[in-house]
C-alpha cells in the first residue's frame, strides 16, 4: 500500500491508500475523486484522467510516454510541465506520498 494525495483547486485534499500495481486513474475512480473520469479505461485515448504532479512533495513521476505526450497537448484544462495521464502512473514504492493536483 502507498499513500496518494489528490489536491483540488481550492487547496483541499483527499488522501487514500492505494495497492501497489493499481494505476492512479483507477485509484481515483475508487475514491470518487471529482473531475477524474477515466473514460477510455486507461488507454491514453481520452485524457479525462489528467493530473499535475505537485513536485513540491519531493516525488517525480517521470516523463510521459510518446502517445501520452500527444494527448497531453490536447487537455482542456491546459498542460503544465508536470502534467501526466494518471492512468499511466502505477502505484509503486517510489510514488509513495505523491501529490496529484486535479485539473479542473
Partner 1 sequence: MTADLQTCPFSTGSLGARFRPYEQEGMFAFFKEARAQQPVFYNQELDCWVVTKKADIQAIFRDPDRFSASNSQSPVNAYSADVHEILVDGEFTREPTQANTDRPKHTRIRNIAGQFLNQKRFARYEDQIRELTRQQIATLPPTGTVDLVEALTYELPAKVLFLLVGVPQEESYRVKRWSDNTFNMIWGKPTEDDTIAGARGLVEYYDFCKSVVNDRLESGVEGDDYVSHLLRARNGDDAILTMNEIYSLVHGVLAAGHETTSNGSANLLWALLSDREQWDKLVADRSLIANAVEEGLRYMTPFITWRRMTLTDVEIGGVAIPAGATILMSLVSANHDEDSFEGPLAFDVERKNARQHLAFGNGIHFCMGAPLARMEMKILLEELTQRYPNMRLVEKDNIEWPLNMGFRGPVKLLVELGE
Q: 26, 42 in Cβ contact below 8 A? A: yes
Measured CA to CA, the distance from residue 62 to residue 37 in angstroms comes to 22
Q: Which is nearer to ligand FES, 7 or 25 (CB)?
A: 25
Measured CA to CA, the distance from residue 22 to residue 41 in angstroms comes to 13
Measured CA to CA, the distance from residue 51 to residue 102 in angstroms comes to 5
Q: Which is nearer to ligand FES, 48 or 83 (CB)?
A: 48
Measured CA to CA, the distance from residue 91 to residue 97 in angstroms comes to 10
**Residues with Cβ within 8 Å of residue 37, at least 6 apart in sequence:** 46, 48, 49
Least spacing, CB of residue 21 vs partner 1, in Å: 12
Among 11, 56, 74, 93, binds partner 1 (CB under 8 A): 74
Least spacing, CB of residue 89 vs ligand FES, in Å: 10
- 49 contact, one of partner 1, ligand FES, none, CB 5-8 Å limit per kind: ligand FES
Q: Which is nearer to partner 1, 16 or 46 (CB)?
A: 46
Q: Which spans of this chain sit near partner 1 (rule: CB under 8 A)? A: 37, 39-47, 65-67, 70-71, 73-74
Amino acid at each position: 500500500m502507498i499513500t496518494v494525495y489528490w489536491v483540488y483547486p481550492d487547496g483541499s485534499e483527499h488522501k487514500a491508500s492505494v495497492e501497489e500495481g493499481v494505476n492512479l486513474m483507477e485509484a481515483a475512480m475508487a475514491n470518487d475523486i471529482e473531475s477524474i473520469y477515466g473514460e477510455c479505461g486507461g488507454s491514453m485515448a481520452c485524457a479525462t484522467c489528467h493530473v499535475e504532479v505537485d513536485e513540491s512533495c519531493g516525488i517525480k513521476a517521470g516523463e510521459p510516454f510518446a502517445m501520452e505526450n500527444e494527448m497531453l497537448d490536447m487537455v482542456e484544462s491546459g498542460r503544465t510541465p508536470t502534467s501526466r495521464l494518471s492512468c499511466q502512473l502505477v502505484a509503486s514504492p517510489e510514488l509513495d506520498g505523491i501529490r496529484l493536483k486535479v485539473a479542473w
